[in-house]
Structure 1
Amino acid sequence: MTDPRNPGPDPHPHPPAIPLPAGSCDAHCHVFGPTVRFPYAEGRSYTPPESPKEDLRALHRVLGFERAVLVQPACHGADHSALLDALETSGGRYRGVALVRPDTSPEEVRRLHAAGVRGARLNFTPHLGPAPAREEIDRIVALIRPHGWHVALHVAGDGITEHADLVRSLDIRVVIDHLARVDLRRGLDSTAVRALLGLLATGSVWVKLSGADRLATRPPDLADSAALARILATEAPERVVWGTDFPHPNTNGFVPSDGDLADLIAEIAPDEAARERLLVTNPAACFDFPDRALRDR
């Protein structure tokens, strides 16, 4: 049975009003199933509708993305089969972010790296399970550091403030998901926003300008979350990337049109050079994409 918190994406997204530059990357998206081949994990906290790699490719054809970073969803647990299948059939156009555990073997990390995985996600959001302890984080970092991976940090509310010292202490690149999911009801000068800007200023922290719908205080109006994204892109234009978060799991009802989300890019990065950096240059550097632009066939 489908989880009512996960109604699935808009089936008819429109192309963005301003075409995306060649080689653009959707830096945060997911594949779910198909469960006949890639079943969901037992004991999962949510059950989304199936959204296999074919759905993702169809979306990217409409929006104009040629590359993508696929993030392992908690509903698939530590079984990366669906993610790896999408990576292996992408012709080098996809990179991945895995759910690495402290007991994951170095051999498994090497296998994931060879397939195109370039990061490990740490979830600090209660609906996705218990947060990792510091000793577990240190073990995960030790496993992935030799491969040049990043740590993807998933927090919400005041989480970025609570975990700012942890982020500063990690001797590895950190990529903060979804604008840190700060509570925009507190405005653009809240403690959490200031903490996020402070981390961005360190030079080793990146931010994904994704999940605008998750932060917006008056959906479907996304102006406040777009304003935060624009501030971050202005403060550190070389360390921000953008993603759809397709197919929008755990939205609790409101699901944006991915075309509307893509239209926000022009507000966040108002000139061609800024869009090239946000969608092409930065993702290539952060996620270790090859230099050449690879087009979908």
Structure 2
Amino acid sequence: MTDPRNPGPAPCPHPPAVPLPADSCDAHCHVFGPTARFPYAEGRPYTPPESPKEDLRALHRVLGFERAVLVQPACHGADHSALLDALETSSGRYRGVALVGLDTSAAEVQRLHDAGVRGARLNFTPHLGPAPAREEIDRIVALIRPHGWHLALHVAGEGIAEHADLVRSLKIRVVIDHLARVDLHQGLDSAAVRALLELLATGSVWVKLSGADRLATRPPSLADALELARLLAARAPERVVWGTDFPHPNTNGFVPNDGDLADLIAEIAPDEAARERLLVTNPAACFDFPDRALQDR
């Protein structure tokens, strides 16, 4: 039985009003199943409907994305088989973000790297399980640093302010997921937003301008989340990326049309050069995509 918090994506996504540049990257999305081949983990924190790689590719054809970063979901746990299958069949157009822990070996990290994984995610959101201890974080950083991976940080509410000192202490690129999922009921001058801006100013922190639907205080309007995304893009245009979060797990009721989300891109990056940076140049640098000429061979 599926989790009622996970109804699946909205039907009939529409193309964005402003076409995306070539090699645009959806920097945060997921694949779920198919469970006949890739079963969900026992004891998983949620059970979404299946959304295999074919569904993701169909969405990307509509929206105009040619590249993507697939983030390992908690419902698949430490079994990366579905993610690796999608990477293997992507002709170098996908990168991955893994779930790495104390029991992950250096050999496993090497295997994931060879398959196209370029980051490890830390969840500090209670609905996805207990937060990692500092010992585990240090172990993960030691495992992934030799490969040049980034550390993805998933926080919510006041989390980015609470963990700001941790982020500063990490001698590795950190990518904050989903606009840090700050509480926009507190406005853009909250402690969480100030902490996010201060971290962005360090030069080693990136932010995914994804999950606008998660932050919006009056959905289906996404205006306040868009305002935050534009603020972050203006502060550090060279260290922001954009993603759909397809197929939108743990939505708590509101599921956006992915075409509506993609229409926000032109409002965040209103000129062609800005969109090229947000969707092509920045993701290539952050996630180690191959040169276009090499990819097309």
CA contact (8 A) 1:32 1:50 kept: yes
In the alignment, what sits opposite 1:28? 28
In the alignment, what sits opposite 1:259? 259
Change (3 A) 1:294 1:89: farther
Equivalences for residues 213-252 of structure 1 within 5 A = 213-252=213-252
Change (3 A) 1:57 1:293: farther
C-alpha distance in structure 1 between counterparts of 2:294 and 2:226, whole Å? 29
Equivalences for residues 134-149 of structure 1 within 5 A = 134-149=134-149
1:2-38: per-residue Cα shift (whole Å, max 9, x none)?
1100000012100000000001000000000000000
Partner amino acid for 1:272? E
In the alignment, what sits opposite 1:269? 269
C-alpha distance in structure 1 between counterparts of 2:180 and 2:39, whole Å? 29
In the alignment, what sits opposite 1:16? 16
In the alignment, what sits opposite 2:85? 85
Equivalences for residues 141-290 of structure 1 within 5 A = 141-290=141-290
Partner amino acid for 1:119? G
Compute the displacement of 1:295 (Å): 8.9
**Pair 1:107-2:107 in alignment:** yes
C-alpha distance in structure 2 between counterparts of 1:125 and 1:193, whole Å? 17
CA contact (8 A) 2:119 2:151 kept: yes
C-alpha distance in structure 2 between counterparts of 1:3 and 1:137, whole Å? 30
Structure 2 length normalisation: TM-score? 0.98
C-alpha distance in structure 2 between counterparts of 1:70 and 1:259, whole Å? 19
Partner amino acid for 2:257? S
C-alpha distance in structure 2 between counterparts of 1:267 and 1:19, whole Å? 13
CA contact (8 A) 2:210 2:244 kept: yes
Gaps of 5+ in 2: none
Deviation beyond 6 Å, 4+ runs, structure 1: 293-296
In the alignment, what sits opposite 1:131? 131
Q: SS of 1:275's equivalent?
A: helix
C-alpha distance in structure 2 between counterparts of 1:154 and 1:257, whole Å? 23
Compute the displacement of 1:102 (Å): 1.5
Q: SS of 1:185's equivalent?
A: helix
Residue identity over aligned pairs, in percent, reads 90
Partner amino acid for 1:292? R
Q: SS of 2:10's equivalent?
A: coil
Compute the displacement of 1:293 (Å): 6.8
Q: How many residues align?
A: 296
In the alignment, what sits opposite 1:60? 60
In the alignment, what sits opposite 1:46? 46
Q: SS of 1:238's equivalent?
A: helix
1:107-143: per-residue Cα shift (whole Å, max 9, x none)?
0000000000000000000000000000100000000
CA contact (8 A) 1:157 1:182 kept: yes
Equivalences for residues 66-81 of structure 1 within 5 A = 66-81=66-81
Partner amino acid for 1:76? H
1:35-93: per-residue Cα shift (whole Å, max 9, x none)?
00000000011000000000000000000000000000000000000000000000000
CA contact (8 A) 1:177 1:207 kept: yes
Q: SS of 1:26's equivalent?
A: strand
C-alpha distance in structure 2 between counterparts of 1:226 and 1:189, whole Å? 15
CA RMSD between the two structures = 1.1
CA contact (8 A) 2:2 2:47 kept: yes
C-alpha distance in structure 2 between counterparts of 1:295 and 1:11, whole Å? 32
Partner amino acid for 1:94? Y
CA contact (8 A) 2:91 2:295 kept: no
Compute the displacement of 1:252 (Å): 1.0
